[in-house]
Structure 1
Amino acid sequence: MARILVVDDDPRLVKVVSTLLRKHHHRVEAVPTGELARQALRRGNVDITLLDVNLPDVNGLSLILEMRQEGNDVPVILLTVRTEVHDQTLGLRLGGDDYITKPFNPEVLLARIEAVLRRTQGTAGVQRDDEADDHLLEIPPIVIDFAARQVFKNGEVVRLAPLEYSILEFLAANRGRAVSKEELMLDVWGTSRGVSRTLAEHISRLRRKLGDGLIVTQTGYGYLVPGAR
């Protein structure tokens, strides 16, 4: 299991890629802009990044160069519609570890991710044998098993609907960071339109099942699962 940051402003692509990666037991954080990617990468806890070259606020190649100049060596796979050899070569020379052109076959993407992780796992912080419990997150009295997609409260299994679990997983993976409603809706539903009330209903059900203190409302912005004290 790896912790994967997906940086792309196409909600449909993000939804497909995130679903695919989670089915293979990876933990996924998705952001639509370069600025949010910077914040996520500076927080750490990322094993590999899938980075769109054409972001709305910054060129992905510039973001790679900035990362490497800051000493951030998290592996990066570029997602690009550019097929010119020059563009692909430039991305690799600036610090990219691999590239894949859009549209791509999901199985090819998985294979590329696995190949990059094999090459870099010595320095990228990917789960090792002595980190076998890395897939567990404990926020007493709640324990989340990301690999099994199960949630426990006081040692008892809590039955969550698939969308409820997806919301909790995204908030927990971003523990300690306030997540906007738009970002959360894009990750879970693949759109930020027309699902705000549905999101609020799912949050309410999660609180009834898990307790009021786990998910904190950030008024006028979104939600937060508090970090470790």
Structure 2
Amino acid sequence: MAEPAADILVVDDDARLRALLQRFLAEQGHRVAGAADAAAARSALASMEFDLLVVDVMMPGETGLEFVESLRREGSDTPVLMLTARGDPDDRVAGFEHGADDYLAKPFDPRELALRIRTILRRAQPAAPAAAPLGLVQLGDRWFDAERAELRTPDGVQRLTGGETALLTALARRAGEVLSREDIAAALGTPDAGERSVDVQVTRLRRKIEADPREPRFLHTIRHRGYVLRPGP
């Protein structure tokens, strides 16, 4: 079955690469816009909603990392795939720390780009009807609604990113069971993600579900084994 078309914004100061990406993604059936820098991207985001942002890390002025971090601070949960000419583990971790959903090093095979985009878009969709409904998961005074990708708090509803929703859903479906970092990476659709990348995503999630992320009540680290979610009042 064909993948549904998505509205994608490509943010890259390299005009040639930006044009190539726009053309390639359009050939994949997507509706694609481009922006040369963070300021242009903000202008595009103000005029329409996008399903995915493809953002270059190294841009003049506001870098891709700074741009994505600011979007997350402002409450945006739009999925982000970051592109960079530097692909070592520390750079990947930095991308996740700043709020990226996935990370791809240049040069890359366009087919891998298309695959990662499909994975991110699928992850951002509501759970498939065939899956057993998870129901609401209590985390103290917060409630996780997997179907709506929402975290209900005493102050209202907090949106979760696609990656945060996938991570919390995977943990909640196997609540009380220790998931290895490999299990978590597979559930997120990023099996090649290193251990530190998984740890960073867990840290980001704790900031949203724990009153004190340094002393977690619900999302526990099991040394040398992985993580376990223990929901409750």
Return the TM-score normalized by structure 1: 0.52
1:141 aligns with none
Q: Deviations over 1:123-168 (max 9, x none)?
A: 9xxxxxxxxxxxxxxxxxxxxxxxxxxxxxxxxxxxxxxxxxxxxx
Work out whether residues 79 and 124 of structure 2, in 8 Å CA contact, stay in contact via their aligned partners in 1. yes
Q: Does 1:64 align with 2:68?
A: yes
Work out whether residues 9 and 50 of structure 2, in 8 Å CA contact, stay in contact via their aligned partners in 1. yes
Work out whether residues 87 and 106 of structure 2, in 8 Å CA contact, stay in contact via their aligned partners in 1. no
Query: Which structure's relative contact order is higher, taking Cα pairs within 8 Å and 6+ residues apart?
Result: 1
CA-CA distance at 1:38 after TM superposition: 1.6
Which of 6, 24, 27 is the aligned partner of 1:23? 27
Q: Deviations over 1:5-36 (max 9, x none)?
A: 00001122112111111111100000101111
Equivalents in 2 of 1:65, 1:36: separation in Å?
16
Q: Does 1:78 align with 2:88?
A: no
Equivalents in 1 of 2:93, 2:109: separation in Å?
21
Q: Does 1:32 align with 2:39?
A: no
Equivalents in 1 of 2:43, 2:125: separation in Å?
23
CA-CA distance at 1:122 after TM superposition: 3.0
The one-letter amino acid of 1:45's match is: E
The one-letter amino acid of 1:80's match is: T
Q: Give unmatched runs, 5+ long, in structure 2.
A: 128-233
Aligned-pair identity (%): 41
- Aligned CA RMSD, in angstroms, stands at 1.4
Aligned residues: 123
Which of 39, 44, 47 is the aligned partner of 1:43? 47
CA-CA distance at 1:56 after TM superposition: 1.6
Which of 1, 17, 38 is the aligned partner of 1:13? 17
Moved over 6 A (4+): none
CA-CA distance at 1:59 after TM superposition: 1.1
1:3 aligns with 7
Equivalents in 2 of 1:5, 1:27: separation in Å?
9
The one-letter amino acid of 2:117's match is: I
- The 5-angstrom pairing of residues 82-161 of structure 1 reads 82-122=86-126
Q: Deviations over 1:169-188 (max 9, x none)?
A: xxxxxxxxxxxxxxxxxxxx
SS in 2 for 1:50: strand
Work out whether residues 68 and 98 of structure 2, in 8 Å CA contact, stay in contact via their aligned partners in 1. yes
